[in-house]
Amino acid sequence: MRIYQHVDELNDRDGIGNDIHGLQVIFEKMGLSNSIITRINNSRHEQEVYSSTKPPKFFSDDVHILHYGGVGYPLELFTEIPGKKILRFHNMTPVFFFKDFMNEDIYKTFERNEIRSYLELYSLNKSIHHILSDSIFNEKQYLKIVGERNENSMTVMPVIRNYPHANNKSDCDLRIGFIGRWAPNKKIEDLLFTIFFLKKINPKYKLVLLGKRNSVFQIYNNKLSSLMEELDITDSVEIHENLDDQEIARELSHLDLYLSMSEHEGFGIPILEAMGLRVPVLAFASSAVLETVRDAGILFTKKNFPLLSELIHKILLSSNLQDLIRKSQLQRIQQYNDFPFEQKLSQILRS
């Protein structure tokens, strides 16, 4: 038996890329030969990667895992090859988040791709042996698209990644941070409003944005730049783009609090990375963020910026409160690190 992971575009830093490399580690630990098939390879990892236009010869005892986060991968390749088929279902951000931040033609293309992705998933459903979602939220989203499915052919398994425990800095520099690309669902503007009110409490507050701007959302990028100027907070916002894993970890370790205003996430790797670095997490309770954080960190359901700013300031003034949050977060991290990945995968491969 050989394992093939199929993905439209292979990247090292995003959630799907993390998951693919995590699965590779587990399969190698299980003594299973595995490789990747992709349309676009942007990875710097040393691994066996085939182009979807020049795939290897497949056999009936092969196992194929399609990482699905939207249209793009040539499905005729996946559906026609021999072997067991597993769908690894990741997050698909609803296009309505983008409506006000794209020109009409681009938005219509996004709408068509969203409809096409629903049709692809529906058509794939009957030929898929097992559905492997990376969050309960994503599994529910999948069932909304395809309808009912035998629960024995569905498993929720988080993105495979080890979150090391480490100490962050002991002094408080009033640095609030967030990791995420500049996309409308991430609600970067709500972070800007929050830092605006935090600066009224103490002008030394800084917002650190660790993410990449996307030219597709240029209207959104311009809106954020204009908002910084309008709120007079440009000098209080640090923007870091195109950082590698080590640089991200370094910047995270220098934060005093991690703040997520995102309204749609399929999982939440950056939240767990912050928890592992003992950075208190404050997050809007939306989508999969709710189950990622669970009883660790602090979740909120209303974006009352003045009130949230007071809460953040209170947390950063209280070492006892921070210690309580860090303790619960480390317990949550341990739950992820202790997840029985190998056991779950063995059951699926044997079924």
pLDDT digits (tens, 9 = 90+) for 261-293: 999 999 999 999 999 999 999 999 999 999 999
Reported as a pLDDT band with limits 50, 70 and 90, residue 148 is confident
DSSP class per residue in 224-241: HHHHHHHHT-GGGEEEE-
Q: How many domains, in total, are found in the chain?
A: 2
CA–CA separation, 232 vs 316, rounded Å? Answer: 23
Query: Does 50 share its domain with 126?
Result: yes
- pLDDT score recorded for residue 30: 95
Evaluate whether residue 170 is within a structural domain: no
In this predicted structure, the answer to whether residue 164 has a pLDDT above a threshold of 80 is no
- pLDDT score recorded for residue 166: 77
Query: Does 84 share its domain with 227?
Result: no
Q: What is the pLDDT of residues 313-337, one digit of tens each?
A: 999 999 999 999 999 999 999 999 9
- pLDDT score recorded for residue 46: 78
Q: What is the pLDDT of residues 235-262, one digit of tens each?
A: 999 999 988 888 998 999 999 999 999 9
Please count the other Cβ atoms lying within 10 Å of the Cβ belonging to residue 88: 24
CA–CA separation, 154 vs 150, rounded Å? Answer: 7
CA–CA separation, 292 vs 276, rounded Å? Answer: 13
Reported as a pLDDT band with limits 50, 70 and 90, residue 172 is confident
Phi and psi at 349, nearest 5°, equal: -70, -30
Evaluate whether residue 16 is within a structural domain: yes
- pLDDT score recorded for residue 170: 73
| pLDDT mean over 71-85 | 94
Q: Quick one: CA dihedral 265, 72, 156, 154, positive or negative?
A: positive
Evaluate whether residue 347 is within a structural domain: no
In this predicted structure, the answer to whether residue 169 has a pLDDT above a threshold of 80 is no
**Three-class secondary structure of residue 328 per DSSP:** helix
| pLDDT mean over 99-121 | 95
CA-to-CA separations, 166 to 32, 169, 210, 275, in angstroms, rounded: 32, 10, 19, 9
- pLDDT score recorded for residue 161: 86
Question: Do the beta carbons of residue 254 and residue 227 sit within 8 Å?
Answer: no
The β-bridge partners of 130 are: 86
In this predicted structure, the answer to whether residue 217 has a pLDDT above a threshold of 80 is yes
Q: What is the 8-class DSSP label of residue 284? A: E
Residues in the chain: 351
Query: Does 12 share its domain with 156?
Result: yes
- pLDDT score recorded for residue 282: 98
Query: Does 189 share its domain with 332?
Result: yes
In this predicted structure, the answer to whether residue 131 has a pLDDT above a threshold of 90 is yes
| pLDDT mean over 13-36 | 93
In this predicted structure, the answer to whether residue 182 has a pLDDT above a threshold of 80 is yes
Evaluate whether residue 165 is within a structural domain: no
Query: Does 190 share its domain with 328?
Result: yes
Q: Which of 111, 130, 160 is the last residue of a domain?
A: 160
In this predicted structure, the answer to whether residue 15 has a pLDDT above a threshold of 90 is no
Q: Which of 155-169, 289-303, 306-320, 322-336 has the lowest average pLDDT?
A: 155-169
Q: Which of 116, 136, 160 is the last residue of a domain?
A: 160
pTM for this predicted structure: 0.94
Amino acid, single-letter form, for residue 178: F
Please count the other Cβ atoms lying within 10 Å of the Cβ belonging to residue 27: 21
**Three-class secondary structure of residue 183 per DSSP:** coil
Q: What CATH number does the domain containing 212 carry?
A: 3.40.50.2000
Q: Which domain holds residue 79?
A: 2-160
Query: Does 61 share its domain with 148?
Result: yes
Query: Does 233 share its domain with 320?
Result: yes
- pLDDT score recorded for residue 163: 82
